[in-house]
Copies of this chain bind each other. A is one copy, B any other.
Amino acid sequence: MSDQNPVFIPGPTNIPDRLRAAMHVQTRDHRAPDFVETFAPVLEDTKKVFGTTSGRVITFPASGTGGWEAALCNTLSPGDKVLVARYGMFSHRWIDMCERHGLDVQLIECPWGTGAPADKFEAALSADKSHSIKAVLVTHNETATGVKSDVAAVRGAMDAAAHPALLFVDCVSSLASMPFEMDSWGVDIAVSGSQKGFMLATGMAILGVSDKALAAMEAATLPRTFFDFKDMMGANASGGFPYTPPLQLIYGMRESLKMLLEEGLDNVYARHTRLAEGVRRAVGAWGLELVAQTPDLYSDTVSAIYVPSGFDSNALTDQAFNQYGVSFGVGLGEMNGKAFRIGHLGSLTDVMVLSGLATIEMAMADLDYPIELGSGVAAAQEHFRSKTGAAIKSAA
């Protein structure tokens, strides 16, 4: 496949040259004084992206999945009850992880295409008079369905039930692309990774952790060494790492934060909204439907789109890849064969999005979808045109 074409998978994202250069660093000594000077500000600046001043940031050389495991192991004990809703592949995986780690999962099944059910959470929490539920787990942006959940509403539910459970949020595919307010939403652990909104290579799990979560460590008996918060915080305090740090990613993270803060987080979010809306206009022009059931659930980082009845979404993504050299997200889990996904996060321009829309239109036409070539492109062009301003031309 041509390296020249952008990818439209919902992460890892297209990596801007600036960040590729930043990660291209030669080996340096991670025990030398200059590493300290590099790493401490990275942790500090990342707090701005999480929307926290009271929490702290902890990273591990791992993927986002490793970040989830770290969240559970450091705060919970075998047999602890957790409250989770399943409404997509990534919320499903988190449930699976809880079960494997011996947690007692109180599960709320929801239709795929919906988000975290604050009302049902409130009911469950209110019913839990003994406070046996130790944590509520929410996937902020369900990458499989393109659904953004309302974390503030979940916090509201917990408060309404006056329940002391911890609130854990998977923001892997939302952080640094959509607003995240760890402090005001009362999130205790937020889990993300390097390869989405931070536009870096895969390999660093990035967590925001509240004091309340840290306090829970003392009683937590799930075993942990690699993912131990205390070891990491202790080493970080003196500028070190409990084992070999992923130096290239840390340098990349430093530059990524510079890019994000130079553009301004609000501008970053606005850009994602504009790009996402362009895609949604195209979907409308094609006469197709999003998996996300209502506009308040629409994700600004990924759109999952149902193919028409009788069509196979895998054939569509295969055609786009094999014939035109462009990768789109396949339908995952329940959505396999039924929906494809367009990732529109990270370092992306209007121009790049239009090339993705033009490509998928050709693939749809090749497979005799009832769509008109250029129609989605035109709808997105109209949207992108109507928005003017200095920020538009820049990717990030």
The chain B residue sitting closest to A2, CB to CB, is B395
Is the Cβ of A63 less than 8 Å from the Cβ of B243? yes
A215 to chain B, nearest CB (A): 20
User: How far is A195 from B348 in the complex, measured between Cα atoms in Å?
Assistant: 26
Chain A 322-362 interface 0/1 with B at a Cβ cutoff of 8 Å (1 = within)? 11111100100000000000000001111110110011011
Residues of chain B within 8 A of A284, CB atoms compared: none
A118 to chain B, nearest CB (A): 27
Residues of chain B within 8 A of A18, CB atoms compared: 3
- The answer to whether A5 and B358 touch (CB under 8 A), given A377-B377, A378-B373, A393-B324, is no
Is the Cβ of A394 less than 8 Å from the Cβ of B1? yes
Is the Cβ of A247 less than 8 Å from the Cβ of B202? yes
Chain A: interface secondary structure? loop
Q: Which of B16, B27, B373, B385 interacts with A382 by CB under 8 Å?
A: B373
Is the Cβ of A326 less than 8 Å from the Cβ of B355? no
The chain B residue sitting closest to A392, CB to CB, is B323
The chain B residue sitting closest to A384, CB to CB, is B362
Is the Cβ of A374 less than 8 Å from the Cβ of B381? yes
User: How far is A123 from B248 in the complex, measured between Cα atoms in Å?
Assistant: 45
A279 to chain B, nearest CB (A): 14
Q: Which of B330, B355, B393 interacts with A1 by CB under 8 Å?
A: B393
Sample (22) of A-B pairs whose CB atoms are under 8 Å apart? A3-B17, A5-B352, A12-B27, A12-B30, A14-B26, A17-B24, A17-B26, A20-B26, A29-B327, A68-B226, A69-B225, A78-B223, A100-B224, A101-B223, A202-B245, A203-B203, A323-B388, A354-B355, A362-B381, A372-B378, A373-B377, A373-B385
Ordered nearest first, which 10 A-B pairs have the shortest CB separation? A374-B378, A325-B393, A29-B327, A355-B355, A374-B374, A2-B395, A354-B358, A65-B243, A101-B223, A97-B225
Residues of A whose CB lies within 8 Å of any CB of B are 1-7, 9, 11-18, 20-21, 23-34, 60-66, 68-69, 78, 96-97, 100-102, 193, 195, 201-203, 222-226, 228, 242-249, 321-327, 330, 347-352, 354-355, 358-359, 361-362, 365-366, 372-375, 377-378, 381-382, 384-385, 388, 392-396
